[in-house]
Amino acid sequence: AQSVAQPEDQVNVAEGNPLTVKCTYSVSGNPYLFWYVQYPNRGLQFLLKYITGDNLVKGSYGFEAEFNKSQTSFHLKKPSALVSDSALYFCAVRELNDYKLSFGAGTTVTVRA
């Protein structure tokens, strides 16, 4: 069975500071990993994915994530956060032969001006 853990319910940072949202996963075999962002009363927007290749993945809006197989982690990062990055962030994982995604509980990011 596959699962995702997002250990922090909330992350608060000042605008211009680095932002990190943590994610660890459990899956049989090689993972397919994703980050999505959700704004209030909206669906999820795709940010980035890791399938294979370079461990550092770059995505939309200046976000990036680093796949670490030994630590089974896929933390989301942004070097300089913006107030507009305030939203709910979800990490998700799936296995090679199963298109169903398992989502973490979500992390609310608040960036203060």
Which residues are near other proteins by CB under 8 A? 32, 34, 36, 41-46, 49, 51, 90, 99-101, 103-106, 108
**Minimum distance, C-beta of residue 18 to other proteins, in the bound complex (Å):** 25
Long-range contacts of 47-51 (CB under 8 A, 24+ apart): 47/76, 47/89, 48/76, 50/74
75/94 with CB nearer other proteins: 94
In whole angstroms, how close is the CB of 63 to other proteins at the nearest point? 15
For other proteins, the closer of residues 14 and 51 by Cβ is 51
Could you tell me the maximum CA-CA distance found in the chain, to the nearest angstrom?
44
